[in-house]
A and B are shown apart, each in its own frame.
Chain A
Amino acid sequence: MGRTLAEKVWDDHVVRRAEGEPDLLYIDLHLVHEVTSPQAFDGLRATGRSVRRPDLTLATEDHNVPTLDIDKPIADPISAAQVDALRRNCAEFGVPVYSLGSRDQGIVHVVGPQLGLTQPGMTVVCGDSHTSTHGAFGALAFGIGTSEVEHVLATQTLPLKPFKTMAITVEGDLPAGVTAKDVILAVIAEIGTGGGQGYVLEYRGSAIRSLSMEGRMTICNMSIEAGARAGMVAPDETTFEYIKGRPHAPQRADWDEAVAYWSTLRTDDDAVFDAEVVIDATTLSPYVTWGTNPGQGLPLSASVPSPSDAKDEVDRIAIERALDYMGLEPGMALRDISVDTVFIGSCTNGRIEDLRAAADVLRGRRVSEGVRMLVVPGSVRVRLQAMEEGLDTVFTEAGAEWREAGCSMCLAMNPDKLAPGERSASTSNRNFEGRQGPGGRTHLVSPQVAAATAVAGHLASPADLAPVA
């Protein structure tokens, strides 16, 4: 019987297999950031162990870093101590690190792909659940906890039970104005936050094939919000074209050898998935979340649901709690929800195409009175590219704030936060209670919807805006 893409990548990394035990899997790339690594390095020190392959390990500073005044010391002493700890640990164990101020600093999941480090058929891990992003290249990429970070540092392997596989087939042409973000929000609304539990999702179908690498990254990024360990897209010409010429891409004869291997990385026609979901791309429209988990999403044209719509008692309580926390009434049109803040950025939507899409909406328009809009590039290189294209001017002329690179308001570990009760339209990945600041309320949206919402002052798509004069 044929194998799925995920099974092929898995099989190519088995170091040791024994009955009744997890497979021992080799890890090709280990990405590290300041938040989930200090206790792992401490563990190495306590046991006298070293980092087995510092040359397959890369660290960057992203979760804690400020997006203003980065030439000054980090004001929050606890954040500063954590960033310092990463720098000390990397120096002591020989791990390369891109620190604040470096041209290659940025969100870990933006940095790997843009350097060409993320390649098809690799195993990629990081102490961060959004490691699933790298699956867009046909890599098997997943988030791990700090104990596993220590394990990979020490051994460059992980003991793992095989994941199940699920095909998510999105067939047809996406209607105008519908983005990768809308696709993944619709998928999560369909299968739920636990629907992908135990699975690697493979996104397939003509709608996925037609997406750019950046769109595919947006989709794979949020696989974890459906509970999945990883998301993958089979590599194709779009993938190879994206990697070619990047700093860590294979060169000359190596390139041909790599492409020959990468071209074998597709699910065999006779392979069988453990589960399958089919979505008709032509029925999709811009999606937004109304509640406090990423599965609580609806088309922008819909209304806030009622607890009486619930499918069971657990769901009814969840809807009631979400409405209460979000300060929403059942039946209210989603388009009538006003926001205080718009956040564009994160490992979900902080890449150059996302900034271009938002800038296209804002060009010639103004951010609504009383709305604060933050634009936070996913990396320094994205920031420089955007400035070269003049996007920073588009944002600032529209009244938005143009910031330095980092995770920023996606998880509010740095000073960029919502105040209690404040409401945001955010291109990030989680609308959990307090995620963007204690008491803050988050609506997840695409960059296009975020920009249109900033102009309108309430949830809106670009099609809702008056044409630019």
Chain B
Amino acid sequence: MEKFIVHSGTAVPLRRSNVDTDQIIPAEYLKRITRHGFEDGLFSAWRQDPDFVLNRPHHAEATILVAGPDFGTGSSREHAVWALQDYGFAVVISSRFADIFRGNSGKGGLLTAEVEHAVVEALWEAIEADPTLEVTVDLEQREVRAGALVAGFDVDDYVRWRLMEGLDDIGITLQYADDIDAFEAARPSWKPTTVAVI
């Protein structure tokens, strides 16, 4: 995974709350067995509307999505993270994220920056006033900067460290194989296994 320290780019104001993962990528796209190429599925129902904010030409190069509260609710599909990344997003800013989506984002290297809702509103207004406005998301300083606006954001300390180091979770865990062995040796023998019983 690439290291994430600071990111600057233009942003898209998505004035919606409760953006569930079925909207981010509908189930139809989940039949694929590959890890990349999900950009066509991103918000596919909403993108059929020519006026949808993502279809506006001045947002074509945007890399930061600014959305209303409860972003990423619903299904656990990590494809939602992949679709956002494949489309070109590196950061989502919202006032509240659903837990599983947030966890998946951290694994995949998509930064979810949680800010006060007033900051979301201020960003929406600033971006709508000037779609070319450069927004900087600084993970080291935990800060969003856009023009005169400077606001802190919340991110889990451990996720922040992993993103800044570009570390792979499985590699970290495998260092503790001895601990896992010891735990397994002490498990009660009556715990079920999935081996078929006649």
Chain A: residues with CB nearer than 8 A to chain B?
15-16, 20-22, 24, 26, 28-29, 35-36, 38-39, 42, 47, 49, 52, 54-58, 63-64, 76, 78-79, 81-82, 85, 96, 116-117, 119, 122, 127-129, 143-148, 150-151, 154-157, 159, 161, 193-194, 197-198, 224-225, 227, 229, 247-250, 254-255, 257-258, 261, 292-293, 314-315, 317-318, 321, 411-413, 430, 432-435, 438
Other contacts beyond A154-B174, A224-B100, A432-B22: 9, CB < 8 A? A20-B158, A29-B192, A78-B32, A122-B191, A145-B77, A151-B170, A154-B173, A156-B184, A413-B28
Residues of A within 8 A of B183 (CB): 15, 26
Cα A57 to Cα B193 in complex, Å, equals: 8
- Looking at the complex, which one of A35, A55, A438 makes contact with B45 (CB distance below 8 Å)? A438
Cα A370 to Cα B49 in complex, Å, equals: 31
- Looking at the complex, which one of B73, B96, B188, B193 makes contact with A55 (CB distance below 8 Å)? B193
Q: How far is the CB of A179 from chain B (nearest CB, A)?
A: 23
Chain B contacts with A in 46-91, Cβ cutoff 8 A: 68-70, 73-79, 81
Q: With A150-B170, A154-B174, A413-B31 in contact, do A430 and B22 touch (Cβ < 8 Å)? A: yes
B3 an interface residue at 8 Å Cβ cutoff? no
B128 an interface residue at 8 Å Cβ cutoff? no
Residues of A within 8 A of B126 (CB): none
B141 an interface residue at 8 Å Cβ cutoff? no
Residues of A within 8 A of B190 (CB): 250, 254-255, 257-258
Interface residues on B, range: 35 or more
B100 touches A143 (CB 8 A): yes
Cα A144 to Cα B76 in complex, Å, equals: 6
- Looking at the complex, which one of B31, B188, B194 makes contact with A96 (CB distance below 8 Å)? B194
Cα A55 to Cα B194 in complex, Å, equals: 5
* Residue of B76, B117, B183 with highest tally of chain A CB at under 10 A: B76
| Interface pairs A-B: 5 shortest CB-CB | A145-B104, A147-B107, A38-B33, A254-B190, A145-B78
A434 touches B188 (CB 8 A): no
A194 touches B104 (CB 8 A): no
* Closest Cβ neighbor of B15 among chain A residues: A317
Q: How far is the CB of B87 from chain A (nearest CB, A)?
A: 18
Cα A396 to Cα B103 in complex, Å, equals: 44
Q: How far is the CB of B155 from chain A (nearest CB, A)?
A: 13
B69 touches A24 (CB 8 A): no
A39 touches B33 (CB 8 A): yes
* Residue of B35, B77, B194 with highest tally of chain A CB at under 10 A: B194
